[in-house]
Amino acid sequence: MATSKTPAKKRTPNAAFMKPLTPSAELAAVVGSAPLPRTEIVKKIWEYIKKHDLQDKKNKRAINSDAKLKAIFGKDQFTMFEIGGGIGKHVK
């Protein structure tokens, strides 16, 4: 008995995520001042976190803020799930 599978549709990226956004001065200190899509901003924040070894040693989901990240997120420690929401106030 042969089952014919229809090929899976390729996911098209959401245009809202791909629209370049201008970072605020605080966010620009981490990701640069050029307009970037939201996905690239999150990627650059992760690069910054890893480069400066800011991930909590015991709880890998927590990120310890340095001065630049504290200016963006407003607290000494935040979780990786707060990154997307935290940048919302710092982009136009």
Residue 3 within any structural domain of the chain: no
Domain of residue 26 covers 20-88
Residue 4 within any structural domain of the chain: no
How do residues 30-82 score in pLDDT, each as one tens digit? 999 999 999 999 999 999 999 999 999 999 999 999 999 999 999 999 999 99
pLDDT at position 48 is 96
Cβ-based burial of 90 (10 A; exposed 0-12, middle 13-18, buried ≥19): buried
Residue 71 within any structural domain of the chain: yes
Residue with tokens 């504290």: 70
Which structure tokens are listed for 21?
């956004």
Residue 55 within any structural domain of the chain: yes
Residue 57 within any structural domain of the chain: yes
The pTM (predicted TM-score) of the whole model is: 0.80
Residue 27 within any structural domain of the chain: yes
Residue 2 within any structural domain of the chain: no
| Structure confidence at residue 8 as a pLDDT band (50, 70, 90) | low
Alpha-carbon gap, residue 1 to 3, rounded angstroms = 7
